[in-house]
Chain A
Amino acid sequence: MSTKLLGERIKRKEDPRLIQGRAHYVDDLKLDGMLYMSFVRSVYAYARIKSIDAAAAKSLPGVLEVITGADIKDQLGLIPCAAGMEGLKIPKHYCLAVDTVRYVGEPVVAIVAKDRYTARDAVDKVEITYDPLTPVTDPESALGKDSPRVHEEFSDNLAFVAKLEAGDWKALEADSTLKIVKQRLINQRLAPASIETRGVIASYSLGEETLTVWSSTQIPHLLKTQLAILTRTDESRVRVIAPEVGGAFGSKLNVYAEEGVACYASHRLGKPVKWIEGRRENLLGTIHGRDQINDLELYVKPDGKVVGLKCNIIADLGAYHQLLTPAIPTLTALMIVGCYNIPNVWVETKGVFTNKMATDAYRGAGRPEATYIIERGMDLVARELNMDPVDVRMKNFPEPKDFPLALPTGVTYDTANYQKTLKKVLKLAHYPTLRKEQERLRKKGKYLGIGLSTYVEICAMGPSSRMPAGGWEFGMVRVEPTGKVTVYSGTSPHGQGEETSFAQITAEGLGIPFDDVTVYHGDTSVVQHGIGTFGSRTTAVGGTAVFRATERIRKKMARLAAHRLGVKPGDLEFRDGKVETSDGSKSMAFGDVVGEAYYARQLPPGVEPGLTEQYVFEPANYTFPFGAHVAVTEVDAETGEIALRNYYAVDDCGRILNPLLVDGQIHGGLAQGIGQALWEELVYDENGQVVTGSLMDYALPKAHQFPWFDTQTTETRTPVNPLGVKGVGEAGTIGSTPAIVNSVVDALQHLGVRHIDMPLKPEKIWKILKTVDGRQ
């Protein structure tokens, strides 16, 4: 057998259980004596709670407990916010509303009953009376002096201001040869909407005084620490297990009220308590993504060189901070110059409280906004100077030799070849031919759009010095006495496929069959430490930890084998299930070397028995994957309907360990990014009511809405980690949104259309067409 595994298209280890319905998501778990929890949630965006009458609910047969904010106020801690920036206002965020509700869907009362039917019936029996207050729904007017305040303990609704300034703005503003291209861009609020909603089972054992929590989470270890603090339980007695997790996209990178209340209820009742989120609850009460207003100004030389970028960012944070709420918009500032080395940058980010659910990390988290801003901006520059969007980009790209490239935004891009991906995608799309077709069709009154996006994003999060709660990752490899190998990772996947990719890393490293490696994750009692899965860090950070731990195993095994074979450890290679000299003259079976470690009869001096090694990888930098996308759209001139005809993408995520998984991540990312551009929008009305509270209203993308994605890759390795991998989880989402909008604006550009806000609903297009060409 060949032990070349990295870079191969290998089927996933995860799949057999998933395709046969044998996997276990939280709701599939059933514990003895398990009780069910439901929530009564606020129907108002902003109101005082006058009274809660739970008598009827309590008297319903099968109801065991009714819990209100008053009950938990002094018993449970506050929901944590890990983001820390100067002057950040952090409101008290209880697990159940105390006195005041501040968004529709906020949990007010929890009910625990013998089964989910009774728990649901009891919800209707709880009578809450409210004194409605005037809600704050528009983040811009929320900043006005006379705006009602979301939190009365604060002087205003401004949660924080973050400024980023670099370069010589005085000189820039004095330069009259520069053109200033301005545009307001709206990045609408989205729902992550993983198909598995959230869910939790908390099980407090009164005898052992241990708390075990099964939660659909991306961060079991961080959750363990936070739940220990929240519930005031000795952390040594808390165990969190992320079972099979049915998608997350950032929305399960959090500590939620329902998790806290489930622990509280289980402790009180001494029985396991399960809560499974409904879809409406998910759309109302799981974090949202995006929601920024961006006022952009680009300072441009007549030849198309962009020399200055100014942006005012207003980020609608919602009513309370979840784990990373205030941190997300600051990532926008960090990546706002995109693939262009713009020397002068000025960004002011204002985080604003409104009476809505918190925004937080949703696939891309701050970078899709940045990419949208700069990529729409570059198209506007092209238009202003009457240049091809390709030429403007080429003009502003740094050269491959310029890397590592320190940017005025304070990050250092590792490696890139932006010219290469752009040229490749233009070839793939037959760009010149497309432009000719566009001309031809325009003469017939048909609107074909060609949209470009060249993106760079920030991945492999990240150096601990720049992360709110640590950026390292833990990996451990244990070779079992039988020669089978167990890998433990602190990352906690929800579809990414690390049971496969990490097995590839370790199997190749040890020269053993792929099938001999099993990967565990997601259980804090099984995996000693961990940060979790987010920020496209799994392979680059978690995989590197596994790679390094594997190296340590190799080192020890080489020493053991060398001792027996009478060679130097450095002379030995691991291949085909053997540890041997490169010419094969001296050789031991892999299992025999393992035996040496466990039987421990002839260990070299100073070598401990056993074969377990761990590594905690601390990345020195982020990684910066990049790519170039082309979207081809057709606009129905009569109705404004948009058809996405072609999508071409060339992505560079560094070294590719498994092309099958990379393709999957790219496709899925594209669908979500295109979803934002064309269909998705989480809408609150002026009363703070959610208009899109079901999947009959919130438009998730469906299969028939997409063309065949034509994707290719380039591989520019990063020196930041020894695997050379950058990360690919969010790239598709980040790159695709502006490509679509640029495409549709391009289709209508000859009519004088300059910009259209997302989502590009047919009605918006129709209204624009009606204005620009007098059509009725």
Chain B
Amino acid sequence: MRIRIKLNGSWREDDVEPRLLLVYYLREVAGLTGTHIGCETTTCGACTILLNGEAVKSCTVLAVQADGAEITTIEGLASDGKLHPLQQGFWEEHGLQCGFCTPGMIMAACQLLGRNPHPTREEIRQGLEGNICRCTGYQHIVKAVEFAAQKISPQSTVES
């Protein structure tokens, strides 16, 4: 089947098998391997991307379902060679260790800050409930998101 997707700002067309999962489309057809696969059960969130602006787990979407959609992956987050504030936050606050969950975590955090620019720590933890990190114990991730929130729209955040 022929599909057309606006991927990180550019339209592309590909022929895909209907059973191709979006995550495999991104990784193997489009060659964007920043989106990872960590489970088989829509649990871990490593494959999180933005589909028409909403965070979804790309392991549970068929590529054909995304025909006509706009997709942003971790590779499309930085602009003009400048890291996205979330990327800066993860770097600055040591929000990652092995880095495998990180792209999905950042994309989920992107959604979180989009809906709630100044989340409390508790809200950050709830907002990342669909993403599992086995390395960090999450605390530095929470700090990374706080950092980004400040960076995107500076104001005093409420601490829970």
Q: Please report A residues at the B interface, Cβ cutoff 8 Å.
A: 11-12, 14-16, 18-25, 27-28, 30, 117, 193-197, 244-249, 278-280, 494-497, 660-661, 663-664, 666-672, 694-696, 700-704, 706, 708-709, 732
Q: In chain A, what residue has the closest Cβ to B107?
A: A21
Q: Which of A12, A249, A671 is within 8 Å of B138, CB to CB?
A: A671
Given A247-B98, A495-B97, A20 and B33 contact (CB-CB distance below 8 Å): no
Is A15 a contact of B140 with CB atoms below 8 Å?
no
Q: Can you spell out 27 A-B residue pairs with CB atoms less than 8 angstroms apart?
A: A12-B91, A12-B94, A16-B83, A18-B102, A19-B99, A20-B34, A21-B35, A25-B33, A27-B27, A27-B37, A117-B17, A193-B134, A194-B98, A195-B38, A244-B98, A247-B97, A495-B98, A497-B97, A663-B140, A671-B137, A695-B41, A695-B43, A703-B124, A704-B125, A704-B126, A704-B129, A732-B137
From residue B117, how far is it (CB to closest CB) to chain A in Å? 19
Is B100 a contact of A20 with CB atoms below 8 Å?
no
Residues of chain A with a CB closer than 8 A to B73's CB: 21
Is A667 a contact of B140 with CB atoms below 8 Å?
yes
Residues of chain A with a CB closer than 8 A to B98's CB: 194-196, 244-248, 494-495
Is B33 a contact of A28 with CB atoms below 8 Å?
yes
The verdict on B5 contacting chain A, using a C-beta distance below 8 Å, is no
Residues of chain A with a CB closer than 8 A to B75's CB: 20-22
Q: What are the 10 A-B residue pairs with the smallest beta carbon separation, nearest first? A: A21-B34, A246-B100, A18-B99, A667-B137, A495-B98, A495-B97, A21-B74, A671-B137, A28-B33, A695-B43
Is B137 a contact of A20 with CB atoms below 8 Å?
no
From residue A29, how far is it (CB to closest CB) to chain B in Å? 9
Contact residue range for chain B? 35 or more
Is B91 a contact of A15 with CB atoms below 8 Å?
yes
From residue B21, how far is it (CB to closest CB) to chain A in Å? 10
Q: In chain B, what residue has the closest Cβ to A16?
A: B91
Is B132 a contact of A668 with CB atoms below 8 Å?
no
Residues of chain A with a CB closer than 8 A to B125's CB: 703-704, 706
Inter-chain CB contacts under 8 Å: number: 181
Given A117-B17, A278-B40, A496 and B129 contact (CB-CB distance below 8 Å): no
Is B41 a contact of A279 with CB atoms below 8 Å?
yes
The verdict on B56 contacting chain A, using a C-beta distance below 8 Å, is no
Contact indicator per residue, chain B 106-142, by CB within 8 Å of chain A (1) or not (0): 1000000000000001101110110111111111111
In the complex, given contacts A664-B137, A671-B134, what are 5 additional A-B residue pairs having Cβ atoms less than 8 angstroms apart? A23-B99, A244-B98, A246-B98, A661-B94, A695-B41
The verdict on B36 contacting chain A, using a C-beta distance below 8 Å, is yes
Measured in the bound complex, the distance between the Cα atoms of B116 and A288 in whole Å is: 40
Given A196-B38, A247-B98, A279-B41, A20 and B132 contact (CB-CB distance below 8 Å): no
Residues of chain B with a CB closer than 8 A to A669's CB: 137
Given A667-B139, A694-B39, A25 and B132 contact (CB-CB distance below 8 Å): no
Q: Which of B46, B90, B121 is within 8 Å of A15, CB to CB?
A: B90
Measured in the bound complex, the distance between the Cα atoms of B88 and A16 in whole Å is: 9
Q: In chain B, what residue has the closest Cβ to A18?
A: B99
Q: In chain B, what residue has the closest Cβ to A197?
A: B38
Residues of chain B with a CB closer than 8 A to A494's CB: 98
